[in-house]
């Protein structure tokens, strides 16, 4: 329970949705950024 927050508070729902979307974006960009720095020929030769 959160004090001073009503069950039908749209600002809270929008805030939580934006927070979760931001976190999901960050945690998906980090591995993609690391993968983009790897040389494709190095990976193919390693297999």
pLDDT in tens, 10-30: 998 999 999 999 999 999 999
* pLDDT higher than threshold 80 for residue 1: no
Report yes or no: 18 and 12 within 8 Å, Cβ to Cβ. Answer: no
| pLDDT tier for residue 47 given thresholds of 50, 70 and 90 | low
> Mapping DSSP to helix (H, G, I), strand (E, B) and coil, where does residue 44 land?
helix
Q: What percent of the chain has pLDDT over 70?
A: 98
């Amino acid at each position: 329970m959160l004090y001073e927050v009503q069950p039908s508070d749209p600002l809270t729902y929008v805030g939580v949705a934006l927070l979760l979307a931001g976190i999901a974006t960050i945690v998906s960009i980090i591995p993609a950024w690391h993968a983009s720095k790897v040389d494709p020929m190095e990976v193919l030769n390693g297999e």
